Amino acid sequence: MTATKNEEEMKMLYIHKNTGVTAELTETKGSTVVLKTTDTNEIKEIGAATFKRWWKPAPLAEFDVSDDVKFDCEAEPIPTRPTASPAEPETAQADESAPDGQESATEAQGDDAKPLALSDIVKKLEGLFDLLNGLYFEGALSRPVITVQSTPRAYGHCSTKKIWNSGTEGEGESYYEINIGAEYLNRASANTAATMLHEMIHLYCRENELEETCQNSRYHNKFFKQEAEKRDLKIDYDRAIGYSLTEPTETFTEKLREAGFALEVPFARHTLTKDKSKTSRAKAHKYICAICGQEVRSTADLNLICGNCEIPMERAD
């Protein structure tokens, strides 16, 4: 049932219990609730049960909440939209488009919106690490240094050793590094979160001295696949990098939605790469001996003599 409103009624606002994000309740459709965030105007469709669990009315002193809106709280949450399959570290592919019915972060901000600072993105990624640490590792992982750096051929990486130090001359605490590739920041939230969890599994294995990779940490073995799949990731095989190709499952995506996680980044780093399609090899010339038929090919213009017949070779092209 769509909520009835008029110009004199105040907007019905709700606050997410975990993130503090505020959103206007625009309508309900059976077991589905439609929200519009007040900061980015993002449209969210969630199940009524999820809405009841994670959202609460804004203070009544500021907003008037109508009693005209009701929900079927016993209904199952709506299924998540399918997401395209991402390749994982070392194999970068084109980023996926946004699902139908969702406006992009650039459109939501408007033409006059202030660009999102990179420091804000890193802060959100740190919050994502803490969220996944609690959901899948019981908070046991130590916080690494989380970076956003250029890695055109990888969605992310986790350092094999502690490469950051908090003190001078190696006297302070040391930390691992987890990086999210700057070229792929504008992927869907669930895909970025799946990359983060992928790297956190590497971190878990390194902190516990478990061997999940070989071949200089490039090839992902079956143990990595096992650890990833029991944490709600879908893993596919690649002959070069093993069980590394990662994408989020619906269970994983639903947990993110219930926790209120969203990372809509309207930009990504554009790294210039050499266009191989425009690179052509120099044409090879063919030289033939008129007597014995000996052939030689070369990209250079040469004056050749046949060693068998001791006569100049003729260029045949």
Task: Note whether 158 and 178 are within 8 A (CB).
Answer: yes
In a domain, 317, yes or no: yes
The answer to whether residue 155 is domain-embedded is yes
Residues 304 and 163 occupy one common structural domain: no
Reference 130, options 265, 264, 267, 259; nearest CA is 259
Q: Which amino acid is at 222?
A: K
If asked whether residues 164 and 252 sit together in one domain, one would say: yes
203 shares a domain with 161? yes
* Same domain assignment for residues 114 and 193: yes
pLDDT tens digits, 81-134 = 333 333 343 333 323 323 333 333 334 444 455 566 889 999 999 999 999 999
Give the percent of the chain with pLDDT over 90.
37
Q: Which of 56-65, 118-127, 130-139 comes out lowest in average pLDDT?
A: 56-65
Tell whether 315 is covered by a domain.
Answer: yes
Q: Measuring CA to CA, which residue among 285, 281, 289, 290 is closest to residue 306?
A: 289
Overall number of domains in the chain: 3
For the entire predicted model, the pTM comes to 0.53
Model confidence at 7: pLDDT above 60: no
State the pLDDT at residue 114.
59
- What's the pLDDT score for residue 264? 78
180 and 312 within one domain: no
- 189 found inside a domain: yes
pLDDT in tens, 219-230: 999 999 999 999
Residue 269 lies in a domain: no
Residues 112 and 224 in one domain: yes
Selection from 62-71, 240-249, 269-278 with the highest mean pLDDT: 240-249
Domain assignment of residue 84, yes or no? no
What lies within 8 Å, CB to CB, of 210 at 6+ separation is 204, 223
* Interatomic CA distance for residues 268 and 73, integer angstroms: 39
Q: How confident is the model at residue 68 (pLDDT cuts 50, 70, 90)?
A: very low
Q: Write the CA distances from 134 to 20, 123, 193, 235, integer angstroms.
A: 19, 17, 14, 22
Top-confidence residue, 151 or 230: 230
Tell me: do 203 and 133 sit in the same domain.
yes
In a domain, 252, yes or no: yes
Q: Span 294-298, mean pLDDT?
A: 87
Q: What is the CATH number of the domain that holds 202?
A: 3.30.2010.10
Across 38-42, 77-81, 186-190, least confident range: 77-81
pLDDT of 49 over the 50 cut: yes
Last residue of a domain, one of 78, 96, 126: 78
- Residue 44 pLDDT grade (very low, low, confident, very high; cuts 50, 70, 90): confident
More confident residue, 47 or 180: 180
| Domain contains 169 | yes
Distances (CA, A) of 290 to 256, 299, 311, 313: 75, 20, 8, 7
Residues 133 and 242 in one domain: yes
* CA–CA gap between residue 99 and residue 84 (Å, rounded): 10
Query: Does 293 share its domain with 241?
Result: no
Q: Which range among 2-6, 204-208, 255-259, 275-279 shows the weakest confidence by mean pLDDT?
A: 2-6
What are the pLDDT digits (tens) for 253-284? 999 999 998 887 777 888 766 655 555 567 78
Q: What is the mean pLDDT of the chain?
A: 76
Q: Do 309 and 248 belong to one domain?
A: no
Mark whether 127 and 254 lie in a shared domain.
yes
Q: How confident is the model at residue 17 (pLDDT cuts 50, 70, 90)?
A: confident
Given 39, 62, 78, the domain boundary residue is 78
| Residue 57 β-bridge partners | 14
Same domain, residue pair 60 and 149: no
The CA distance from 236 to 199, in Å, is 16
User: Which is more confidently placed, 127 or 79?
Assistant: 127
List the domain range (segments joined by +) for residue 128: 105-259
